Structure 1
């Protein structure tokens, strides 16, 4: 097998142009000093040889790598979409990203250690599960941005959607359709689940009544959603909720799968709402009503938070909270047998804090 040609070096350009390596370096960096004829000779030689400056060596010489480290759950479609937006935002600011995945055999701590081995200048953690003290300890020596969850950790920048308000949007939509028995399929243990669960409880108590709160153990996967749906279906027909709000889209897909296997029509027999508005939710064959966290805006804000630390020297932590919105599709509709309100619903159009519900987006299937 023929050997690959070696990459042209600075010395090769200097030899071809008949000048010193110092002159080549000045020309290629656009610095003053070399004459016009020398500049022309160097640029011609570099073009003929196909020379490209070694960006890594240059950055290391300045003690910079211009790398943003990103941890992500490889099983999360939302993380994959968010990652694409993070790369685009990093490109615009002259940075690149290094991805460190979380898998069944690779936890978040190991993923972070790998990013630090690559000398990443900032860490962008997608939905981190590290505790607040662990995040604060990490932020003592590194720039850390927690994306998608609240964090009361000193020195940590936070970029997230208002998850409690997002779930409240889902509940308000279902109540407006006539549902009075709405269950929440809980997520895994952690701050993200806690905030979404709180938003559900608050919205149901306000819009329907405290006795209507029903939290079903679940998780973040399709299997967990399917198990939750099985629990719901095991109750007496007259006591079953008429609508389910799932922790995320993956759990909602598991719910839909179990409902359809058991012959329960969606939305006629039960309405289902997911969270994340992931790409699969938009497929016409799924057509899932879901809460969108605005991943592009989240990615831009996260990269901006990191680069402000690195390029502008910002030291004060920021907490960026974005407004989610509900995208209505085909998995929600009026209940088959609407229940009649005995008392008027106070603040039926309100959210958990201001009494106002942000606008809902109604989207046709397949978009």
Structure 2
């Protein structure tokens, strides 16, 4: 028979103190004197007692769980963002509970689910639902360019500067001599900001832009279909800018099937600088939107809020960087 695991009552008896005092020691309370603290710690070591983290957290009025609400697990941007969150929150003992509203089929609303779990904070990677407005909510950080309601102005927010990213792409392509550009658009807040800035900057520099209409899903199939349609509409297009890397990979496949050499006949640019873009077989020119850093900064803000930080809501916007690889080149002289 396995030996019985020591309990908090055993520790209290061995140390000659009350159970409540042992609880205070486990919570690292400053209310405990040095002699009593030392007696409890020695009893814990002698008995090999392992406190229940869940019980200790509940006793302290917290769960050490952060709810993360996203809207598309297939979007690789979330991978690095969540890694950044974990880098900031993991050392403090916080665990992440991630729900994708696009695939979650549970009857309970995900926001209510997090609230019933008594999460200590929330990170929202989608346009904030109406349920996130009101009293009794934990600290909230919105990640990425989102449509934040006016009554959600108390949220902290961290994003890359999507508009500047769109302008970086336009300047890069025009500097390479491209004047007939296509854009594979996305319907998210970030996608809309990238498109508007890209089109405005390109036109101000003397280039013509044709963009896909409607909201495109984030998939290589959508990128393939969108690129095929744009190149059929205007065969003179010499460069394509996709709203994200996944769409851009679909555009590369379309170019191959249409006999358009990349980058000799067609330059292609993505956005997000995901692991997919960096793969040697792809080597995609893209915009690094610092997704890991977005997650890390969001986690740091949330940690400060959960510890009682009372500063005014933060609006952090990180400057993107253009990463030039092998899918862009100067336009051919006969284009």
Instruction: Report if TM-score (shorter chain) is over 0.5.
Output: yes
Cα distance in 2 for residues equivalent to 1:26 and 1:216: 61
Paired residue secondary structure (1:85): helix
1:6 positional shift: 6.2
Q: Is 1:336 the equivalent of 2:332?
A: yes
Corresponding residue to 1:227 among 218, 225, 228 = 225
1:338 positional shift: 5.5
Alpha-carbon contact 1:219-1:247 (below 8 Å) kept: no
List per-residue Cα deviations over 1:270-306 (Å, max 9, x = no partner). 1110010001111101111110111232123212322
- Which structure has more relative contact order (CA 8 Å, sep 6+)? It is 2
Using the size of structure 1 for normalisation, the TM-score is: 0.79
Using the size of structure 2 for normalisation, the TM-score is: 0.86
Paired residue secondary structure (2:307): helix
1:97 positional shift: 2.5
Cα distance in 2 for residues equivalent to 1:338 and 1:150: 42
Paired residue secondary structure (1:8): coil
Corresponding residue to 1:255 among 248, 251, 255 = 251
Q: Is 1:172 the equivalent of 2:171?
A: yes
Cα distance in 2 for residues equivalent to 1:125 and 1:10: 38
> Please, which moves more after superposition, 290-299 or 175-184?
290-299
Paired residue secondary structure (2:322): strand
**Structure 1 segments of 4+ aligned residues over 6 angstroms from their partners:** none
Q: Which runs of 5+ in 2 are unaligned?
A: none
Alpha-carbon contact 2:210-2:230 (below 8 Å) kept: no
Counterpart in 2 of 1:64?
Answer: 62
1:11 positional shift: 1.7
> Please, which moves more after superposition, 217-226 or 324-333?
217-226
1:97-112 residue pairs with structure 2 within 5 A?
A: 97-106=96-105, 110-112=109-111
Cα distance in 2 for residues equivalent to 1:236 and 1:99: 42
Q: Which runs of 5+ in 1 are unaligned?
A: 340-367
Counterpart in 1 of 2:204?
Answer: 206
Corresponding residue to 2:268 among 253, 266, 272 = 272
1:173 positional shift: 0.8
List per-residue Cα deviations over 1:75-106 (Å, max 9, x = no partner). 12220111011111113455332222344354
Counterpart in 1 of 2:90?
Answer: 91
1:32 positional shift: 3.4
Cα distance in 1 for residues equivalent to 2:75 and 2:300: 23
1:333 positional shift: 0.8
Cα distance in 2 for residues equivalent to 1:243 and 1:54: 58
Counterpart in 2 of 1:327?
Answer: 323
Corresponding residue to 2:45 among 26, 47, 51 = 47
Counterpart in 1 of 2:140?
Answer: 144
Q: When the two structures are aligned, how many residues end up with a matched partner?
A: 326
> Please, which moves more after superposition, 225-234 or 46-55?
46-55
**Alpha carbons of 1:140 and 1:19: their partners in 2 closer, same or farther (altered >3 Å)?**
closer
